[in-house]
Amino acid sequence: MGVIVVSMKVVLGSDHAGVDLKLNLLNYLRDLNYETVNVGVDSPVPPVDYPDYAEKVGNAVRDGTAERGILICGSGVGASVAANKMAGIRAGLTHDVYSAHQGVEHDDMNVMVLGARVIGMETARELAHAFLSAKFSGEERHVRRLAKVKKLEETCNQYEAEK
């Protein structure tokens, strides 16, 4: 059996609550031959603020340092809210395999958010595999909906700039 070659680069970041899950996922993804970028944090102490790591993951995806991102905090909710404030980021809080791949296939999700206090290690691995192996379908209905999401983002950004 040959070596699996994966060309995708993935950025991972977490706050203090997600450190253990993130470090485990980094090793798992490296074993699967993904190229990984770790934007921190690597210790549960001192506590840190999840928006800082949402920004780091989001920026790495936006600037092309990585194709996709995985972001982890305690529940996943705060990091998801923060990441979705960034233009061009489509982050989804994901705790089931269907949503992990469907979010990419239908919504072109580029950041998967996990709650380290909600799911276990094996589930996180299954979710990462589903998320990273999924491809955007390109179906007309999904392209149309994604265009509306992007238009909404542009409108909101314009509104904020005019305030």
Task: Pick the more confident residue, 156 or 20.
Answer: 20
Average pLDDT of the chain, as a whole number: 94
Rounded to an integer, the average pLDDT of 137-163 is: 87
Please tell me the CATH code under which domain 9-137 is placed: 3.40.1400.10
Catalytic residue among 73, 101, 129, 156: 73
Whether 106 is catalytic is yes
The fraction of the chain above a pLDDT of 90, given in percent, is 88
Task: Pick the more confident residue, 7 or 132.
Answer: 132
Quickly state the pLDDT bin for 114 (edges 50, 70, 90): very high
Q: Enter the tokens of residue 64.
A: 């092309």
pLDDT at res. 152 = 87
Whether 156 is catalytic is no
Give the single-character DSSP code of 33.
T
Q: Can you state the angle between helices 97-107 and 140-162, rounded to 10 degrees?
A: 80
Q: Which residues pair with 12 in a beta bridge?
A: 38, 70
What are the sequence ranges of the domains in the chain? 9-137
Q: Enter the tokens of residue 101.
A: 């791949």
CB 89 within 8 A of CB 110: yes
Catalytic residue among 16, 95, 101, 106: 106
CB 80 within 8 A of CB 100: no
Residue-wise pLDDT tens digits, 18-77: 999 999 999 999 999 999 999 999 999 999 999 999 999 999 999 999 999 999 999 999
